[in-house]
Amino acid sequence: MVVIRGVNVHAGAVEGIVQRYPNVAEYRVEVSTRNALHEISVCIEPTPDCKDPEELRDNIQTALRIAFNLRVPVVLAQPGALPRFEMKARRWVRADRET
């Protein structure tokens, strides 16, 4: 769990939202710190047969905003770009960029 602007964001909750969409092959959550505040972004890898990756990205971004009442940027990755994970904890990476 990480606290983003006063909101508890659980790995399982993010996973539940992302896995609602069958066109997501893999995802990764990046946690960073900016001006002493934690931020997250989600990188998704669409399946090769995904017809509209941009729509997929927008739908996931909207679902995350509704669930957490936070703007969580969702970024598209190329097919095969993300490593395959078996556990939730490994999908969460720290991208330290203290400013």
Let me know: does 44 contact 56? Beta carbons within 8 Å: yes
**What would the pLDDT profile of 55-90 be if each residue is shown by its tens digit?**
999 999 999 999 999 999 999 998 888 888 666 557
Domains of the chain, start order: 2-94 (3.30.300.30)
Answer with the residue of higher pLDDT: 48 or 88.
Answer: 48
Position 87 scores a pLDDT of 63
Which residues are within 8 A (CB) of 86 and not within 5 positions of it... i.e. 6 or more apart? none
Q: Is the pLDDT of residue 53 over 70?
A: yes
**Residue 58: per-residue pLDDT:** 97
